[in-house]
Copies of this chain bind each other. A is one copy, B any other.
């Protein structure tokens, strides 16, 4: 590994400068991404063709001095492999042809074999690892069981979460069966990604933050903890760190830290120093710049980087990132300023 800053920071080991990667760093703000997507015709083909997925995964690393690569994929590959048939509509986001409507559908759901139904993902991981050639570590990822269940029951995005909460409140046992299956499916999927070459794992819990505390603990965090426990912890002599990111989950940082994960993803609402005080040295912290800061100027981006680095302060365990995926309208030139500023301005804290 030529650059292991990211791995070291995840394990709270000393680094020369603070590592940085960016959620959705392979995305629409890059003209080269838009060109590849054009060639692929649509988003699902981009995800399902290992050569395309590899190509866009590597694009941001050509432009910026990023400290990690993240597999280009979608969190809904698992429900798609379970037979729900994912598709995307312009402006409406992901949809399923066969959403979960009955208990019988839950009972009948089969756990996919990641090396068969999701082979395109593990093939992409192997290909990316080969092409990366030790430049930076590769992050594999999955959606949390609760987040996947939300999309599967709602049939797509929602504002009210009425269908999934109806199931949760009225048939908590059916919900548990669904979440158990998804936890198993996610575990198998992530272990297959690790076996194919993923060196870090991230769980995206996009919709845990819409739950009450008790429901979050019982129906979202609980299943993420099961996954963390059952993941391959070491592969070819290397520890595989796990990051958990619950969007709108600031209420529960202490609980997340107690799952046994290595790092917590943060949004921009709390100063990172305040979050650090709450979790101590139990886990590393990843974040936490508002992606809208990239609509400003090089000077303002540098100033905000300085603020966040100062808020975290000295010591190990900070991975710089945005608090949410980068927006499609962002100027790549400001991303370069961001990445270089983090490396330059963080020296004094290490």
**Residues in chain A within 8 A of chain B (CB atoms):** 160-162, 165-166, 169-170, 209, 211-214, 216, 248, 250-251, 268-271, 274, 290-293, 295-297, 300, 327, 329
Contacts and interface: CB of A to CB of B under 8 A. Distances in A.
Contacts of A300: 169-170
B329 A271 contact: no
Contacts of A250: 250-251
Contacts of A327: 160, 162
Contacts of A209: 269
A322 to B, nearest CB: 12
Contacts of A212: 268-271, 290
A292 B166 contact: yes
9 contacts: A160-B291, A162-B329, A165-B292, A165-B295, A170-B295, A213-B269, A213-B270, A213-B271, A250-B250
Number of copies: 2
A268 B300 CA distance: 36
Given A162-B327, A213-B269, 9 more contacts: A161-B292, A165-B292, A165-B295, A166-B296, A213-B270, A214-B271, A250-B250, A251-B269, A251-B270
Contacts of A166: 292, 295-296
Contacts of A251: 250, 269-270
A331 to B, nearest CB: 12
Contacts of A295: 162, 165-166, 169-170
Contact of A170 (B169, B211, B296): B296
Contacts of A329: 162
Contacts of A170: 295-297, 300
A209 B269 CA distance: 8
Q: Report which residue of A162, A212, A248, A293 has the largest number of chain B beta carbons within 10 angstroms of its beta carbon.
A: A212
Counting from the closest, the 3 A-B pairs by CB-CB distance are: A165-B292, A166-B295, A169-B296
A274 B251 CA distance: 11
A169 B214 contact: no
A248 to B, nearest CB: 7
Given A268-B212, A269-B212, A269-B251, A290 B162 contact: no
A268 B251 CA distance: 12
A211 B170 CA distance: 34
B296 A160 contact: no
Nearest to A216: B269
Contacts of A216: 269
Contacts of A162: 292, 295, 327, 329
